[in-house]
Structure 1
Amino acid sequence: MRKKMILLALTLFIGLSACGNDDKELPDEPGKEQGGNGGDEPESPDNPSGNEPVSWYVATTGNDGNSGTLDSPLKSISKALLRVNPGDTIFLREGAYHEFVTPTRSGEKEN
């Protein structure tokens, strides 16, 4: 019986430690991204100040002349890399992207 209790305690400890804190802040409301507009409309990637993180979307059905929002995605990863700022996120929609990309920024504010 004692072995079962030790095994149970060890299993619980390992399970709970796997649920560690990544120090990521979660949105206050479901569907609301940080710095977002409440989830009603996709956030516009036009963010010249670079103060708030922006989500950029790329889809094989997109167009590189689009704004890069969920409803108006870019077509190429290369175009998204030209627009992205440190702290931004690029989401790739399902599909095959046939291009070679070379990031020119490290993701740090200085670059």
Structure 2
Amino acid sequence: MTEDFYCDEVLSDKIQVRKVLETDNVLAYYHTKPFWPVHVVAIPKKHIPSLITLEESDNELLLELLRVIKKVATMVTEENGACRVITNLGDYQDSKHLHWHIVSGEPLKQLFNERLQ
């Protein structure tokens, strides 16, 4: 597998995901290994390595992606009272495909560690 989980696994249908919202160019789905109680990932269906590699020609796609993120963030906020919208860059970005996390709640790893104490 390359460094692009989204093209290699999700968009190629090698793994099934629970879709939250989908357009012709964007997919939002529940994370396959969530780090938060509510954890949705939004990705463009076109391969774009990261936010900082976007080209001028990607502007319409970026607007569509942001519209999807806004809709999902609104749904998550209405259901949970709050959410975070996060993207990672550089070494923080595990998969080299532009993606955004729409999350709510305390990190599950943190909750797990607190329970152990």
- TM-score of the aligned structures, taking structure 2 as reference length: 0.23
Q: Which has the larger radius of gyration?
A: 1
Greater share of strand residues, 1 or 2? 2
Per the normalisation by structure 1, the TM-score is: 0.23
Name which structure has the greater RCO, CA cutoff 8 Å, separation 6+.
2
